[in-house]
Structures are given as structure tokens and as C-alpha cells.
Amino acid sequence: MKTVTPETFAAQAGGPIEPLSGAIVPPIHLSTTFERDPDNAYSKGYIYGRPDTPTVRMTEEVLNRLEGGAATLLFGSGMAAATALFLSLERPAHIVAPKVMYWGLRRWLAEQTAAVGLSVTFVDNADLDALRAAIIPGRTRCVWLETPSNPTWVVSDIAAVAKIAHAASAIVGADSTVSSPVITRPIEFGADVVMHAATKYLNGHSDVVAGSLTFKAKDALFERAASVRRDIGAILAPFEAFLLMRGMRTLHVRVRHQTASALTIARHFANNGRVAEVLYPGLANHPGHEIARRQMPGGFGGMLSIRVAGGEAAAIRTAAHVQVWKRATSLGGVESLIEHRASIEGPTSPCPPDLLRLSVGVEDVGDLIADLERALIANA
């Protein structure tokens, strides 16, 4: 299977046939412990379920091929994956991170890093001069990107950021949850580590909480992250790894459909009088559109936001009137979701109060457009 494309590799779950039965669906290895050899060694490579398991390793191999990395680690959530990377940085460690990013991780960086010997500066990662100025020579270990950034979909130039970070001997960590490897493979643009909240597009069915780190090199940073995962017990469980593998087998089909629908929806509502603004990198008037064209060869993704004319109250009323779209958090599943993000993130959120975040699923795009139009009219 080494000569096939990542798409084919994922569709066939790496290609192995289970030798005992001939099953084409990989088995779930639920055992938490593994037998020693007569000489007390572990020649099969497994000791105990906390550091590693066969099902997790098999799923890691598929994701690693999708991202074009040297090694991948799976975690019990996206937060577990991202924080494990930060905890693996050599001290003293300073982090540069976006002002607008996934709210839960931004809160952890703002509130918890001092207790673990880390410091952080938040910048507009689309502003390369601001990012360059935020780097502290000899202390900045990681420049963290999220592109497009949730929920305003600002696009960061990964290659330009990598050039700045690497000149200061810092690594680039990229949260590519929204893009998925179908859209962007950050390592190809200079990122050193790619993080996914695998709960989202990689799983795609809203039934697994998982996270991942894919490393450009299987180096000392990878080894420290693997140690953190082992020591704090943050590995993904085998059954969840099996479900994640199941999701990745249809990743390309789902994401291409979602991306096409999102672009159709964005264009449709760009000239709607009840919508003040559509935020989507695929629109020509988006500030990061040209970077996105270069950096997102697989399309512009299945996420967009609309700012509802009439402000916060009108946005909340619009969400209240949808029927096909579901009012729920998360993203990347087969079902389309709508959410008033400012309500979730709280009073210190940088998210505009009139913003509704839309995660486009695999439903008929005409049904999605008609439902949102009805909700905007009902809100008026």
C-alpha cells in the first residue's frame, strides 16, 4: 500500500486483511495487557494499554499517512493533544498564539500556563509584523496557529509564519481541525506539528471525542509528547480509535461534499439583506482569500459564519427558527449545525455577538439554504 494515494490508504484503513478470518474491517483490540515472551521480553511491541495499543497504532498510521508526517499520536481529546504538546516544550518556554482561536484552548493558555512554567502572548496571526514582534529570542519555543481560525475564519500564512518562527529556533504548531488533511497539509507548508480535534472532520459522525498530534520528525519533541501521553494517561481508548478509523475511511467523500455546499451557501447569502456579512475564505472579498487559494488546495472547507443584520438578538432569534440545521456545538459531522458562539464563549469572547457559526453537513444544500432563509425571515 506504499504506492497508493493517502485517499486510497485511508479508504482501505491501511489495507491489511485480518489473517485469522479474512475480515476486511480491522478488528478492535480491547486488551489492556499483553503477554511477555519466555525470556521476559515483549517482542510483539506491546506491554500495557496506557502507552500504546494495536488499534490505536493502526489508526495513527492512517492519519500519519493522510498528513504526510513522520509519526502521529492519538489522544482522548483535542484539548489533551494540544496541551500535551505545550507541556512537552523545553523550559523556559514562551508561546505565541492567535487572539482568535478555539475558545477552550485559548482559555487554557490564558489561565493555566503560568502554573506549568509557560508564558503566552496573543497576537493577530494574520499580522506577520505583530507575530515577529511577539517572539522573545531564546525563550519562544512554539508559534501556534489555527487556520482558518474559529469562528471568524481568519487565514494565517503557514509558510510565512514558519519562516519567522524557524529563524528564532521556534517550532510551528498548527491546529488544522477545520481544514482536515483533505484541504491543507500544514507540514508541506513548514509546520512542525499538526493538531486535530479528531472529534470533528476526521471522525465525522459526532460519536467520538479524540485528538491527535502529527509530527514532521520523529524527534526529541515527539518522544517527550509520547511520554506526556503515557504518564498522564491521555491515550485514546481502542473502541474510540476504531470509530475514528471508521470515520477517516470516508473523510475525502464527506469533506468534498461539505466544502462544495459551504461555498454555495456562502455565495447565496453574501447578497442577502438580512445578513450583514458572510465570513468564508472562499469568497473573493475575504481578506485571506489569496492565501487560502494557495494554502488550501483541497477547497475552502465546510465552515462559515454569518453576521445577522439586527445584532445579537436577531442572531439568536434566527437560530431559534431553524429546523434542518441543528442548534448544537461542535463541527465537522454529517449533520449541519448552527451556533451562537458568543453565548458559549462568554463576556470576554472576541467573537462578534451577531455571529452565527455554521458547520455544513452532507445534507442537500438546497434544503440547508431554504431552512436558513426561512429562519432569517421568521426573525424579521
**Domains detected in the chain:** 6-248 (3.40.640.10), 251-379 (3.90.1150.10)
Per-residue confidence (pLDDT) for residue 199, from 0 to 100: 98
Catalytic residue among 141, 200, 246, 341: 200
Residue 307 annotated to the active site: no
Cα separation, 173 vs 194, in Å, equals 6
Residue 192 annotated to the active site: no
Residue 102 annotated to the active site: yes
Statement: the pTM of the whole predicted model exceeds 0.85 = yes
Catalytic residue among 102, 157, 280, 307: 102
Centre a 10 Å sphere on the Cβ of residue 77 and count the other Cβ atoms it contains. 18
What are the C-alpha distances in Å from 289 to residues 129, 230, 234, 281, 283? Answer: 19, 41, 37, 5, 7
Catalytic residue among 106, 132, 141, 175: 175
Higher pLDDT, 267 or 43: 267
| Confidence label for 44 from pLDDT (cuts 50, 70 and 90) | confident
| Confidence label for 1 from pLDDT (cuts 50, 70 and 90) | low
- Rounded (5°) CA angle 206-260-127: 85
Catalytic residue among 46, 50, 124, 267: 50
pLDDT in tens, 330-374: 999 999 999 999 998 888 788 999 999 999 999 999 999 999 999
Model confidence at 278: pLDDT above 70: yes
pLDDT in tens, 164-215: 999 999 999 999 999 999 999 999 999 999 999 999 999 999 999 999 999 9
Residue 201 annotated to the active site: no
Per-residue confidence (pLDDT) for residue 3, from 0 to 100: 83
